[in-house]
Amino acid sequence: MAQANDNFIMLPTVDFCFKELMQNENVRKGFIAALLGRPPEEIQETTLIPTALLPENEDDKLGVLDVAVLLKDGTQLDLEMQVIYFAYWTNRVLFYLGRMYTGQLKKGDSYNKLKKCIHVSILNFIHFTEDKKCYHKIAFCDTKTGIPYTDLMELHILELKKLPEKALNEEGIIRWMRFFSGKTREDFREMAETDKYIKEAFGELEKLSADDRKRLEYEAREKAMRDYNCLMDSAQELELKQGLEQGLQQGLQQGLQEGLQQGLQEGLQVKIKEHTQKMLNRGMSPAEIADLLDEDPQLIASIAEELQNGAAN
């Protein structure tokens, strides 16, 4: 068993931990109630649907851990914690939502059997760069009038990196997002005081963290995610070097020293800006980006500010 003085605590942003937390019916009920904007007492039943750990493609060794839930009224939810930046997230969630919706019918079934399907993305990176809202609820509507067309398919996107400063009387979904974003036992303990369902989630988190077998599974998953991130970072560094080489080649072709310097500088600046944007989208800070790219922190901070201001305009 874990030592009594071991202050280790699992983090819900690791999808293994999130999935384990959602095995607890009360935790599941509290979170889903917050998502749907309903009192937890109205959520009468939340049944887990078995899901498989499937890779995105043949080369993907990381795979996907999601939580599928069926409500008493037939509504299906797919809950997914994603900490690693994913360039085509919109395409991906639409694919999974469509598959969830069409998968309800068997051959010969009537369309009136189709029930509401909701895909919930809990992202530890920035997906919507054009605004500062941390929670988006997306559904079909008339683009001219804004009148809802149907609520049979919904996307809920929670961006943990965009959480605002703490305020009094925060809505339930924001409290849950703060809990999922916790980094220390004290963070989780503080959030547990705000909601009885979050308190139960904290208790479950402590039990999971004290379980040696669960801890080994958690650490294996965490290592896989770390290795994947390192692989992506290495690929970005290689791309940056290729950008420098391209700039050098362009300068040489111009045959002038001035052209050489200009080509190098332009190639470097463009690539640095591209990589800064990608890493900001992944939730990295300017200081972390500067360290990874081995660049002047002030330069990266300036580029980050320029990119963020451009997105806001």
The confidence score (pLDDT) of residue 135 equals 97
Map out the domains of the chain as residue ranges. 15-210, 221-312
Closest CA to 48 of 72, 66, 23: 23
How far apart are the C-alpha atoms of 171 and 236, rounded to whole Å? 39
Going across the sheet that includes 76-82, the strands are 46-49, 66-71, 76-82, 117-123, 148-159, 135-141
Question: pLDDT tens track of the chain, all 313 residues?
Answer: 444 446 899 999 998 999 999 999 999 999 999 999 999 988 988 999 886 544 444 444 445 568 999 999 999 999 999 988 877 899 999 999 999 999 999 989 999 999 999 999 999 999 998 899 999 999 999 999 999 999 999 999 999 999 999 888 889 999 999 999 999 999 999 999 999 999 999 999 999 999 999 999 999 888 887 776 666 665 556 665 565 556 555 554 554 445 445 544 555 677 778 778 877 887 778 887 877 676 788 888 888 888 878 765 5
Tokens 């007492």 appear where?
41
Buried b (16+ CB within 10 A) or exposed e, 155-181: bbbbbbbbbeeeeeebebbbbbbbbbb
pLDDT value for 276: 81
What are 165-169's contacts with CB under 8 Å, separation 24+? none
Residue with tokens 């809802």: 148
Residues contacting residue 257 through CB under 8 Å, at least 6 positions apart: none
Residue 88: both structure tokens together = 């085509």
Nearest CA to 49 out of 37, 62, 66 is that of: 66
Residue 130's φ and ψ, nearest 5 degrees, are -90, -5
Cβ proximity of 27 and 200 under 8 Å: yes
